Amino acid sequence: MNWHGIAAIYRFEMARWGRTLWQSLVTPVITTALYFVVFGSALGSRMTQMEGVSFGSFIVPGLTLLSVFMQSIFNASFGIFFPKFTGTIYELLSAPISSFEAVLAYVGSAVTKSVILALVTLATALIFVPVRVDHPIAMVLFLLGISAGFCLFGFAIGVWAKNFEQLQIIPMLVITPLTFLGGAFYSVKTIPQPWRTVTLFNPVVHLISGFRWSFYSTADVPVWSSVAVTVGVIAVCMALIAWMFRTGYRLKQ
């Protein structure tokens, strides 16, 4: 294992993140704060509790993951797309570092950024609403697993994308709608049939449900289902990235 190479890429990505801290950390936190003001304070005061939890507190896990989803994809995709855009990707491919080590460095730095963003978002939420964590270890594991899965997904998008516009297509047109329809602001149990059953085919429902369970011990789907989807996302994305490196898909062209 080339730890020096992994550390070099990791430090470079973290330094780049530090130079764009306003866009990478401050802006998402401000956006999340506005969500809490609108949904938590304005609308929450007019809505009843959900699953025995006040509405403002209930949406905290969903809002946290909303930020994590988008920033995980953005950070990981841009990290590998920029070397492709500038032509320095060939230096990476010819360096004495394996594809696994390169992915570990890029995705590891992206996961670090996502976890920091999630913790800052939760700290911001505490300003507006009370938040408790019933299962802290499960919360950390879910956060790390979900962040890793979406960072891997973002890395695959960065390899696939041919221009900056394509970097935004999937996050904006796929991930954002799935998140809003995935129970970020409500419980899936409140949806009438047959739409409730249809909603369960949305993988984001399982991710948000498991993460919310770690906070308030309430879930829309069984916890094992949330764990299975989290592991499944990681496995599928790892297989896709392995295929991309093995075939050189949009890396050696």
* Model pLDDT, residue 85: 86
Question: Tokens for 217?
Answer: 């011990």
Is the model's pLDDT at 110 over the cut of 90? yes
What is the C-alpha separation between 242 and 11, in angstroms, rounded?
23
CA-angle at 240, arms to 238 and 243, nearest 5°? 110
Amino acid at 224: W
What is the C-alpha separation between 202 and 131, in angstroms, rounded?
26
* Model pLDDT, residue 93: 79
* Model pLDDT, residue 36: 74
* Model pLDDT, residue 195: 85
What is the average per-residue pLDDT within 129-143?
A: 93
What is the average per-residue pLDDT within 197-202?
A: 92
* Model pLDDT, residue 76: 92
3-state secondary structure of 50: strand
DSSP 192: P
Question: 60-86 and 3-19 are packed helices; what angle lies between their axes, rounded to 10 degrees?
Answer: 110
Q: Which of 107-111, 186-190, 192-196 has the highest mean pLDDT?
A: 107-111
In terms of DSSP H, where are the helices of the chain?
3-19, 21, 27-35, 55-58, 60-86, 89-94, 99-128, 136-160, 164-170, 176-180, 195-199, 203-216, 223-247
* Model pLDDT, residue 46: 62
Answer whether 121's CB lies under 8 Å from 32's CB. yes
3-state secondary structure of 142: helix
